[in-house]
Structure 1
């Protein structure tokens, strides 16, 4: 017989609706799990409280034990100091013996740091401090106590006539020490005190048992709860999870006796329990909860299976409807007889007819054009009989409004759930816009091709590693034909790297497929000039990498005929050479009178020697030795004249630029010899300085000499034009090693004492055909700068000032030292005037 409560439960359960039964079936297991968790949490909390009480009692016992040990240690040190004070008060020991006994006590008791004997006048008679005591805490013999803590407790010990402890303060630097003042009496009269100073850290280290320090964080606190010694823990470090559970840490405090004065010993327990995560009971609760949850999920799945199936069906229907309504592709279904059975919203929107107007229609359909009905019937027959093209076909469709658009139709068979065909599914896409874009692209391509064909430059494109020519314009075909031979020849001759050709079996495969080519296609185009023997032309070849329309990496080469430009450049170079020669001829023309004066001296001497010898020979007044001496002098004068003429000839003769390793000193000597003629004519002194051991320069020595001669001649003319007195008529030439623009170089500078250059002249100084001379042609300095820059150097001009007055001008230029040359080494050199 079933009990009456069970019958009542069954009757009540049967009266409930299925929805309420489902809710009860879900709520009962959930309530059971919550009750189970509440019971476990209550039991766990009770056990934790019991454990906490036991641990707190253990802390209390250990702290009291540590306090007793610390108290006994202080009392022992107090007894020792009192014996020492009694002996000192009875005059049984003097200061030296007091110091000796104090040293023994300090060495035997590490916590005792300083022992001092202070007389009744507050003066230090004797004192000993441990080596580790800070100098600021040591007492010198004869020192008198100043007002402060020591003096205050000194007075208190004298009044109370008993030992007095002083309490150290927290946070002092250096740390304060615990002081013990023991009064001295000589025949009943106060005779001073014995001061013992204890290290608080030492008391904690040696007074507290090691097992207590191991289990707890022990600290000594003052009356303001400041930590004097030891270590204190925060709540997180002390207990972690237990503090969050109980609201406080496990700690205990006791006063320190006999010190008193609020000095407290505190111990805080380290965290030793495993907490919630490491507790076995916790993991048991977790495992039972997971098991219960798994059973609850199984129950929910069983009770809600029908509801889930219904919701899935509704969701699938809604999804299908939303997908059909959101598609831009028109969908049409035909049965096996060609009748329309379904159209979606996109199809209706394309044609303009509604679903009611289209469903059930047979051919001809209303969206067919009258002119295309025969074609559309053929397409429909092919579609019904399964002969439609896989890629679809293009048709014209008429809207209800009468407008026409282009569309592409794709056909596929419609299969039911039993695998039998029930009709045909047709998708229709509006391709009016793509058709328009394709026509525009075709027209654009024709324009692009027309432009490239009309270019006067050769344009060719070829893929890397292949002999296929992707594109070539008319100019390329006229020069090289229709293959890639000319393209590859220009690439190779221009020094542009190209990928190797693949094997014949892989002609259609991109050898660089899959590799990153962004760096190549984004790089700057290469630009080179080459000469093609087959064409007899100079070509400027520009090459760059690009990604072809099929994704392959290709190389674009543009070649332009620059033969006329090269011819013009050669003619310009020839004209520059002629201008340099003309400049030298002009310079020598301006120096003609000086040269004539210079040659007149040796020629006059030769004439005099010859006339003298002839006269003496006729008079028979000369012997063979005298005649030989006169002839030698005549030969030397002729040789001197020949050297002058040869040097001028080599300077003014026209020659091709010839850069050879040249010695700087030799070039300077030749230039000084040539320019010295003009400077002596104008009564101008020339001082030159050449640094020792200068490196050899790779230059054309005649051109560099031309620059120096021109600058020194201009300097002499500037001095002459300024009408300087004889003491100020000098030109200085200096040649020194320098570091210019980060590279070793040799600097040539010419400095004069003329009137300088006006600011407007400095701005146009190196322009062609600009001159400050009345009869100047304006090509000298321009050619000088061109010569220097052709040797990769630079030229500069500046005025020299004495205060606000211009006292001269300085022209300088530098020539870089070749990389292969030795480093520049400076040193002393000759200076001549």
Structure 2
């Protein structure tokens, strides 16, 4: 008794800390969690009970299946052992008989007697046969115990006879026994009576070697019938299967027209000691009822499901109640937090204009505490003394429900006496029954907002003043509606308030309709906008001419979002009429300067041209005088007269060509670019410059590359540049008094390609003169700068202008031999476009000397 009391006290002492720990954990949980655990406890218990029942049923069923499998396995192995013992015993008897035959102790008659006695005691054997090594039948005894002459015939019709046919079971085992000299079993086959059999063949070995075989043929069905124990056959079905998994024989015979039910439990073992592909299978069937058809199981499941459903319903109901409670708590906390954290002051009054509620923001704005405001009636302490009447009037409007919808702007005084601007909004306070119980007022401090608004108004006024004072026209047009949103004074002065002026400046993009055939390529179908980035900071300027005003404008456009969110286009149009007129006058002056430069060049070459023309004119005069004299004296024949006239015509043609080239060079015409060949330009320039070069005794060598690309230039202007460079080179050589070896100029025209300029053709004029000082190279392109005493200083400047107008570059450099200057080179480039299929040009050298 005392020991039992000690055990109870020991258990109580051990369980007390656990109970204390569980109690502490339970008290730490929130009421909602306690309710959840109280609901989940029974639910988990029911689920565990249902799981235990299912596991118990499953365990018992598996136990029964395992016992059945063990019984099938045991009976199959018993049947295998019985058949194995019988086959081994028969094999030993056959080996003994074969030994007696091999030792000549038994002849045919004795074999028949001995085999008949042996076969009658073994019903599973169909016959016993003695064959020679040539497959000749020596003797054969049937299962009835008498000699059968029809057995094992050599006519080839008996499948049990190893007649030498390849592939037959009897022949295969005959060859195997002959090779190994050991007993062997054949594969199962059908004999002449269509009975499934297999053979054991025992070799006959005498002193000469292999002398034949002793064959015993078994029926598979006989083995099962006589050697499977009857108690095993009663408990389970035993069947023999071949290598194709087909039933050869079975202890259970199916009804005609019916198939055996597929066994749910089976065990297979080989048919030992034959091992010829036959398998012994023991088959069993489940007799127990499964879980699905167990009534007790389904009753337990139904009761458990019903209990779980009731518990889930209770848990869902409690959960909805907890959700409603939590939502109410959260809503209360949210509203309280919102009222306490918002910057807008909230004030509630009852129907007697008594303050019933103020939030912390209202107290913070006015400086009064909640106790100082609750229960107060007008005049309120935050009313400024000088605005009692105005505030009382606003309060009466509130009570009567006539407060402005946009709120009323009032002055509020803090507790320290300072004031600020506020906007108050009033709405009726309705209780849950729909009855008005007072008024709710919200108040916002708008002092800073009012200051910012005033600043924005002043800034807008300044901005508008600046835009109105601009000389450029500024306009903003709505893209979708085509409405003119803004226009400054200059725009209104030129175009009035009509948005068509904006469309003219924009090039008509916004007025273009979707029926325009080019609309799909230039305008986005979704919004009708130009298909380009709308919000580009700087668009490319455009120069637009307005016919009605006879003015030129430099127009810059960009898209922006207007104050109301609409997409708009802003244009800034600057009047550039005066600049365009100045540019036109400058172009005219440049053209006149070019013509003047050519006339000056011809003027400087006047004596050379006169000398050049004097030669053909003198020759013409001499030819004419000679012909006249000889005609008078009748001393000239027809042939001589024709020869003199032809020479006279050639000299006149020469003089005409000189005059024609000079006329083309100095005539005034508009600059016009046309496809030109560098070879033709060089030829005309050299022919004109040759007059001056011959007068100064200066030779010229030209080098023009073949198959050069076509130039898009004004040939007269390029010819003028070459003429100026050649004349300057000749003058430098002549003024320096250089010897004949250095009195020559080289003109080269070659193709080039540079990363900066791309494909171009370079014209270079190289002389062997004294070169140019560095200060002259720096200033030689300046207007009216010249190193000649009678020069005007416009030649090189015009050359530079002409080259750059063709997007080319001109440069000058001295040539050095060590530190000594041995000449000067002027070169300029003209860009060209070279087709990809054109091969690079090859050069040719030509030389012309006076």
| Residues 710, 832 of structure 2: 8 Å contact kept | yes
- Show the 5 A alignment for 1:767-782: 767-782=782-797
Task: Tell me: CA distance 1:660–1:313, structure 2 relative to 1, closer, same or farther (3 Å).
Answer: closer
- Show the 5 A alignment for 1:71-150: none
* 2-structure distance, mates of 1:16, 1:827: 108
* 2-structure distance, mates of 1:359, 1:514: 62
Match of 1:401 among 402, 416, 428: 416
Partner of 1:639: 653
Offset, 1:813? 1.6
Partner of 1:361: 376
* 2-structure distance, mates of 1:20, 1:791: 94
Partner of 1:698: 712
Match of 1:745 among 760, 764, 767: 760
**In the alignment, structure 1 residue 797 sits paired with structure 2 residue 815:** no
Match of 2:821 among 771, 790, 806: 806
Match of 1:442 among 457, 481, 484: 457
In the superposition, the TM-score normalised over structure 2's length comes to 0.59
Offset, 1:757? 2.6
Report Cα offsets for 1:19-76 as digits up to 9, x if no partner.
48979989999x99xxx9xxxxxxxxxxxxxxxxxxxxxxxxxxxxxxxxxxxxxxxx
Report Cα offsets for 1:487-531 as digits up to 9, x if no partner.
1122125xx5677589xxxxxxx9978999994223422311121
Partner of 2:600: 586
Match of 1:684 among 694, 698, 710: 698
Q: Which is worse superposed, 744-753 or 512-521?
A: 512-521
Offset, 1:710? 1.0
* 2-structure distance, mates of 1:593, 1:341: 118
For residue 569 of structure 1, give the secondary structure of its aligned residue in structure 2.
helix
Partner of 1:347: 362
Partner of 1:717: 731
* 2-structure distance, mates of 1:717, 1:514: 67
* 2-structure distance, mates of 1:368, 1:601: 119
* 2-structure distance, mates of 1:319, 1:334: 22
* 2-structure distance, mates of 1:341, 1:586: 106
Match of 1:412 among 411, 416, 427: 427
| Residues 408, 431 of structure 1: 8 Å contact kept | yes
| Residues 756, 808 of structure 1: 8 Å contact kept | yes
Partner of 2:60: none
| Residues 408, 423 of structure 2: 8 Å contact kept | yes
Task: Tell me: CA distance 1:514–1:306, structure 2 relative to 1, closer, same or farther (3 Å).
Answer: farther
Match of 1:553 among 567, 583, 588: 567
Partner of 1:577: 591
Task: Tell me: CA distance 1:531–1:358, structure 2 relative to 1, closer, same or farther (3 Å).
Answer: same
Match of 1:538 among 522, 533, 552: 552
| Residues 619, 651 of structure 2: 8 Å contact kept | yes
Offset, 1:571? 0.5
Task: Tell me: CA distance 1:821–1:424, structure 2 relative to 1, closer, same or farther (3 Å).
Answer: same
| Residues 749, 812 of structure 1: 8 Å contact kept | yes
Report Cα offsets for 1:374-409 as digits up to 9, x if no partner.
333332233223333333222222233333321111
Partner of 2:498: 483
Match of 1:461 among 461, 476, 491: 476
For residue 709 of structure 2, give the secondary structure of its aligned residue in structure 1.
coil
Offset, 1:485? 1.2
* 1-structure distance, mates of 2:632, 2:328: 150
Offset, 1:308? 11
* 2-structure distance, mates of 1:518, 1:367: 60
Offset, 1:630? 2.0
* 1-structure distance, mates of 2:601, 2:385: 99
* 2-structure distance, mates of 1:633, 1:25: 138
* 2-structure distance, mates of 1:382, 1:697: 89
Task: Tell me: CA distance 1:448–1:751, structure 2 relative to 1, closer, same or farther (3 Å).
Answer: same
Match of 1:627 among 641, 644, 660: 641
For residue 425 of structure 1, give the secondary structure of its aligned residue in structure 2.
strand
Report Cα offsets for 1:734-785 as digits up to 9, x if no partner.
2223334464332222121222233333333322222233332221111111
* 2-structure distance, mates of 1:473, 1:756: 61
Task: Tell me: CA distance 1:778–1:447, structure 2 relative to 1, closer, same or farther (3 Å).
Answer: same
| Residues 355, 375 of structure 2: 8 Å contact kept | yes
For residue 367 of structure 1, give the secondary structure of its aligned residue in structure 2.
coil
**In the alignment, structure 1 residue 755 sits paired with structure 2 residue 738:** no
For residue 382 of structure 2, give the secondary structure of its aligned residue in structure 1.
coil
* 1-structure distance, mates of 2:39, 2:681: 110
Q: Which runs of 5+ in 2 are unaligned?
A: 1-6, 50-308, 516-523
Offset, 1:303? 12
Offset, 1:611? 2.8
* 1-structure distance, mates of 2:426, 2:783: 82
For residue 608 of structure 1, give the secondary structure of its aligned residue in structure 2.
helix
| Residues 325, 344 of structure 1: 8 Å contact kept | yes
| Residues 409, 429 of structure 1: 8 Å contact kept | yes
Q: Which is worse superposed, 810-819 or 534-543?
A: 810-819
* 2-structure distance, mates of 1:520, 1:772: 56
For residue 470 of structure 1, give the secondary structure of its aligned residue in structure 2.
strand
Report Cα offsets for 1:704-724 as digits up to 9, x if no partner.
111111111122222224433
| Residues 491, 498 of structure 1: 8 Å contact kept | no
* 2-structure distance, mates of 1:567, 1:436: 51
Partner of 2:578: 564
| Residues 746, 816 of structure 1: 8 Å contact kept | yes
For residue 492 of structure 1, give the secondary structure of its aligned residue in structure 2.
coil
* 2-structure distance, mates of 1:550, 1:634: 90
Q: Which is worse superposed, 368-377 or 453-462?
A: 368-377
Partner of 2:343: 328
Partner of 2:674: 660
* 2-structure distance, mates of 1:803, 1:26: 110
**In the alignment, structure 1 residue 673 sits paired with structure 2 residue 666:** no
Partner of 2:126: none
Task: Tell me: CA distance 1:793–1:732, structure 2 relative to 1, closer, same or farther (3 Å).
Answer: same
In the superposition, the TM-score normalised over structure 1's length comes to 0.60
For residue 484 of structure 2, give the secondary structure of its aligned residue in structure 1.
coil
* 1-structure distance, mates of 2:585, 2:23: 113
For residue 751 of structure 2, give the secondary structure of its aligned residue in structure 1.
strand
- RMSD of aligned Cα (Å): 4.5
Segments of 4+ in structure 1 off by > 6 A?
15-18, 20-29, 294-318, 510-518, 819-822
Task: Tell me: CA distance 1:300–1:770, structure 2 relative to 1, closer, same or farther (3 Å).
Answer: farther
* 2-structure distance, mates of 1:805, 1:28: 113
For residue 541 of structure 2, give the secondary structure of its aligned residue in structure 1.
strand
* Structure label with greater radius of gyration: 2
Q: How many residues in Structure 1 have an aligned counterpart in Structure 2?
A: 569
Offset, 1:5? 9.0
Offset, 1:311? 9.5
Task: Tell me: CA distance 1:725–1:598, structure 2 relative to 1, closer, same or farther (3 Å).
Answer: same
Task: Tell me: CA distance 1:514–1:617, structure 2 relative to 1, closer, same or farther (3 Å).
Answer: closer
Report Cα offsets for 1:634-675 as digits up to 9, x if no partner.
222122122212211221122211222223222211101011
For residue 413 of structure 1, give the secondary structure of its aligned residue in structure 2.
strand
For residue 520 of structure 1, give the secondary structure of its aligned residue in structure 2.
coil
Q: Which is worse superposed, 428-437 or 406-415?
A: 406-415
Offset, 1:828? 4.6
For residue 777 of structure 1, give the secondary structure of its aligned residue in structure 2.
coil
* 1-structure distance, mates of 2:715, 2:319: 105
Partner of 1:521: 535
Partner of 1:76: none
Report Cα offsets for 1:416-463 as digits up to 9, x if no partner.
344433221111001111111111111211221122222222111011
| Residues 651, 702 of structure 1: 8 Å contact kept | yes
